[in-house]
Structure 1
């Protein structure tokens, strides 16, 4: 039996008990009053009215305290939530279904408060990320249009405008992809291809980046064919490898391993740089979060957030192992 139902039954029993005691007290106080005359007397009608009134009043008060007041509190709180007031915490008492409902409501309000903060934080970060390249483009365009520059300065400033325009394009595409991932519950995973070849093509595409840093690549890549979403897995490898290159120290190693374990594809990449602190590791998959902002001012903090969402959509896992001033290893496992 439900706890709330049990309370109502107990209330009914108590009220019924009280309502039967009152007439007995009245009858006892009447003494030797003739039974026939008693039931036909006005006193009997008054007693019945008083008994019924007290019974209904007691039952109503008990139900009001146990159920109605608590439902009214939830109703008022719901209206406040609808108005955007998430700073609510209803006191829960007892141990029944309404208590559980109240506790769930408080959890909902807490989550809405957190989401409201995240939304505001997203808008702030979004505005900042777009404001920086737009301001640079506007500033250098105004300098060029002033006509007081040398040919060398015009070329230099034009390159900066082109670079910031490219950055703005990448930001827009990344946020669009993030939006698509959030709105898609199921992704297509029916393309058969050589994933090892795909990873090698990403490494080759990023060749200019790792050569510029003088990185020595140690590759251990097994040949693995799989059936999944080719476009999304390409995005995973591109984001993770590019991230590893960015955070590598110059003239260091970059270790990449790809292998099959049972029905899983295991991808590991290790770069040797400053590493990531335990505190930063808790936030690296958050949108716009950038480790070592002073060293990587061009990073938008979107890549790993997208990577994590893609891996989740493909029913995979991603783990990080890092020691500060030593190394950082990302391990991705995907179902084959």
Structure 2
């Protein structure tokens, strides 16, 4: 048999996977926002510093000073020391005129003069096309490490004819590049990532422990119930779950449901055993009688003058045995899953009167007083006429059978709230209250000796109850002061 996957492993894996996914998403969002925030701070500072330096450079150009002059270079060095940045100034061809800052590539500067160095051509072309440049770069190895760099176009100032203020002429004379070290940002992110990773591992380990304990508490009861179910399946019908019934969660509900199912199956098994015992008893009694009288006739124990009487007993017991088998077959048909409850309209009053006429000879034999309370018109109901006929026949036959001679037999039909109530009563012995609760059971007879009415097999009322259950209808019984009445319902049209 193929081993199924462990529910414990599956649940732990899913929960840990969700935790890891949440950690990854949270970390990605946090690092992205942190990195963007740090760069925005650097960009704002660089743009402000570049603006100050470009304003000074533009003013110097307007005065006719050279961007490679001593005064301008001294200003650049002062600005670099104050702002802790790196500054590059070049002409429109990209040739560097001035460079200062801690992030310059010293090896490159030592191997050549400033005049021999140029900024990357793509940066010059981009600025000449009117597109400012900013980003993290080593700027063609001019910088010793990755830096965040921003740019400004240098141009002479002219006087505005309207306002009289000095404004940029828009004619490029050179380019200014200001850079700041980005390694601090990367170091911050690296340190933060290490801290986050350690924290995530700790949280993951704690979650693993808690998840394992929680899932184990869920799985252990299921394993226990599975073991109980295997025991129950192997015939230990007295097995019950007692460990988890006090829990107030779904496990407790499952344990209670399992015990309820076990009780129901145990009751069904008990009823099955009783059913087999009753059938055996009912079959054995007439067969023993038939065999006894037949043997008596064959071996001469019964004298010839009593053979006819003995044959009458054999015939009576044979018919009784036939009725038992017929009832058993009918009961099997009613309980078959293939039985389909037909639904059609019919007059239940007509059915009841037709059954009453069929029992006329038995009623006349006991000289019963028949009293009817039926509506003047038809009482149309839904159901199977044949099945309802059998219900009425069984109830009326029982009423006649258990009526006292010259007693009262009542038939009554009333309607209320969409239901037809059919009541059949008889005057006779009162049924004890303790017997009323079992009167619809299979093979139940009010007399425990089973000898008062030998022609009964104890299945009539059980068949009545089974038929009415098929149509989801009810039947009740009352027995007081020598009067017993059965009342069942049918749905009105």
TM-score, normalised relative to structure 1: 0.77
1:82 aligns with one of 185, 210, 233: 233
Matched, 1:242 2:393: no
Do 1:199 and 1:237's aligned partners in 2 also have CA atoms closer than 8 Å? yes
Partner residue, 1:287: 442
Number of equivalenced pairs: 292
Where does the alignment leave 5 or more consecutive residues of structure 1 unmatched? 1-7, 13-48
Once the two structures are overlaid, the 10-residue window that deviates more, 181-190 or 238-247, is 181-190
Give the 3 Å change call, closer, same or farther, for CA 56–138 of structure 1 in structure 2. same
Do 1:263 and 1:335's aligned partners in 2 also have CA atoms closer than 8 Å? yes
User: Pairwise mapping of residues 223-262 of structure 1 onto structure 2 (< 5 A)?
Assistant: 223-224=377-378, 226=380, 227-261=382-416
Do 1:276 and 1:291's aligned partners in 2 also have CA atoms closer than 8 Å? yes
Matched, 1:129 2:282: yes
**Deviation of 1:327 (Å):** 0.8
SS in 2 for 1:243: helix
Whole-Å Cα distance in 1 between the matches of residues 403 and 213 of structure 2?
71
Matched, 1:181 2:338: no
Give the 3 Å change call, closer, same or farther, for CA 264–56 of structure 1 in structure 2. closer
Whole-Å Cα distance in 1 between the matches of residues 214 and 347 of structure 2?
71
Partner residue, 2:462: 305
Give the 3 Å change call, closer, same or farther, for CA 232–59 of structure 1 in structure 2. closer
Whole-Å Cα distance in 1 between the matches of residues 306 and 328 of structure 2?
33
Matched, 1:70 2:227: no
Aligned Cα root-mean-square deviation (Å): 3.0
SS in 2 for 1:224: coil
Partner residue, 1:31: none
Whole-Å Cα distance in 2 between the matches of residues 76 and 201 of structure 1?
58
Structure ranking higher on relative contact order (CA contacts 8 Å, 6+ apart): 1
**Deviation of 1:261 (Å):** 4.1
Do 1:224 and 1:260's aligned partners in 2 also have CA atoms closer than 8 Å? no
SS in 2 for 1:218: strand
Whole-Å Cα distance in 2 between the matches of residues 154 and 210 of structure 1?
31
Partner residue, 1:317: 474
Partner residue, 1:202: 355
Do 1:186 and 1:313's aligned partners in 2 also have CA atoms closer than 8 Å? no
TM-score, normalised relative to structure 2: 0.54
**Deviation of 1:119 (Å):** 0.9
User: Pairwise mapping of residues 29-108 of structure 1 onto structure 2 (< 5 A)?
Assistant: 60-64=212-216, 66-90=217-241, 91-92=243-244, 93-108=246-261
Give the 3 Å change call, closer, same or farther, for CA 67–147 of structure 1 in structure 2. same
Whole-Å Cα distance in 1 between the matches of residues 470 and 215 of structure 2?
48
1:276 aligns with one of 431, 439, 442: 431
Q: Deviations over 1:127-154 (max 9, x none)?
A: 1111111111111111122245444412
Partner residue, 1:39: none
Whose helix proportion is higher, 1 or 2? Answer: 1
1:296 aligns with one of 446, 453, 462: 453
Do 1:224 and 1:259's aligned partners in 2 also have CA atoms closer than 8 Å? no
Partner residue, 1:41: none
Give the 3 Å change call, closer, same or farther, for CA 249–85 of structure 1 in structure 2. same
SS in 1 for 2:442: coil
Where does the alignment leave 5 or more consecutive residues of structure 2 unmatched? 1-11, 17-200
Whole-Å Cα distance in 2 between the matches of residues 320 and 124 of structure 1?
27
User: If you compute each CA radius of gyration, which structure gives the higher value, 1 or 2?
Assistant: 2
2:422 aligns with one of 267, 277, 292: 267
**Deviation of 1:335 (Å):** 1.3
Whole-Å Cα distance in 2 between the matches of residues 216 and 152 of structure 1?
40
Give the 3 Å change call, closer, same or farther, for CA 106–145 of structure 1 in structure 2. same
Partner residue, 1:116: 269
Give the 3 Å change call, closer, same or farther, for CA 147–330 of structure 1 in structure 2. same
